[in-house]
Amino acid sequence: MNMSEIESKRHELLDELNTALNNARVAAVLRKEEGAPEMVTAFLDEMGDGSLDLEIVGDFYFRPLLSADDPVQIFMTVITITTEIPKENLPALYEAISYVNFNLPAGSFSIDKDHNFFVYVLSNLMPADIPDELVFREMDMAVGNAFSFADSYIDILLDVMTGKIGAEGVVEFLGGHAK
């Protein structure tokens, strides 16, 4: 299979994911921007307790292949929680994220300090030659897992980000299993 055929298959799979999300009443769009991979962007207004006015967005895409012969492909889920992090709370948030990440079964929370992004990222590595039905099943599971893992910890991390609690509150939340 050549790169054009691979991109066409990926487009079909992303379009199927976009349809599935919209059918599940998650507002989503399939989009392609210059210099970026084609992706599905979902607007996750149901995530978290809603106490903060956040526009949480999920981006779902395949990492570009280096060649058509790559034996693996990587499907990415990136949930952007906020792009506004109070600088005075960054040290506590970094510490809290390290505690949560230690307890996560997959993926991780991260901060891009240069761009002020607070995200949850989950990547899913899969063979490049599996049937499309299995690729879609892996994509669907990755998106579901990303929603679940991020939503499980988003409120406690936002409490740290806003200064309501310190990182020690996360250790308590985790039942002391953070160090």
Residue 29 inside a domain? The answer is yes
Per-residue model confidence as pLDDT tens digits over 3-25: 889 999 999 999 999 999 999 99
Tokens representing residue 71 in the block: 């034996």
Cα(46)–Cα(165) distance, rounded to whole angstroms? 23
Cα(124)–Cα(142) distance, rounded to whole angstroms? 7
Which domain CATH number covers 124?
3.30.1460.70
Per-residue model confidence as pLDDT tens digits over 91-128: 999 999 999 999 999 999 999 877 678 999 999 999 98
Q: How confident is the model at residue 178 (pLDDT cuts 50, 70, 90)?
A: low
**What is this structure's pTM?**
0.91
Residue 179 is predicted with a pLDDT of 58
Sign for the CA dihedral angle at 133, 66, 42, 161 comes to positive
Residue 179 inside a domain? The answer is no
DSSP bridge partners of 30: 40
Residue 12 in 3-state DSSP? helix
Residue 157: pLDDT over 70: yes
Residue 65 is predicted with a pLDDT of 87
- Average pLDDT estimate for 80-101: 92
Residue 19 inside a domain? The answer is yes
Of 7, 131, 134, 139, whose CA–CA distance to 67 is shortest? 7
Cα(9)–Cα(75) distance, rounded to whole angstroms? 13
Residue 163 inside a domain? The answer is yes
Residue 139 inside a domain? The answer is yes
**Whole-number mean pLDDT of the chain?**
91
Q: How far is CA 89 from the centre of its chain?
A: 22
Residue 143 is predicted with a pLDDT of 96
Tokens representing residue 113 in the block: 């300090």
SS3 content of the chain, % helix, strand, coil (to 5): 40, 25, 35
Residue 28: pLDDT over 70: yes
Cα(136)–Cα(19) distance, rounded to whole angstroms? 12
Per-residue model confidence as pLDDT tens digits over 129-154: 899 999 999 999 999 999 999 999 99
Residue 124 CB-density burial (10 A; 0-12 exposed, 13-18 middle, 19+ buried): buried
Neighbour count for residue 7 (Cβ, 10 Å) = 15
Cα(15)–Cα(81) distance, rounded to whole angstroms? 24
Residue 104 inside a domain? The answer is yes
Residue 178 inside a domain? The answer is no
DSSP bridge partners of 121: 78, 108
Between 71 and 115, the more confident residue is: 71
How many domains does the chain divide into?
1
Residue 177 is predicted with a pLDDT of 64
Residue 15 inside a domain? The answer is yes
Cα(61)–Cα(164) distance, rounded to whole angstroms? 34
- Average pLDDT estimate for 22-31: 95
Domain that holds residue 161: 3-173
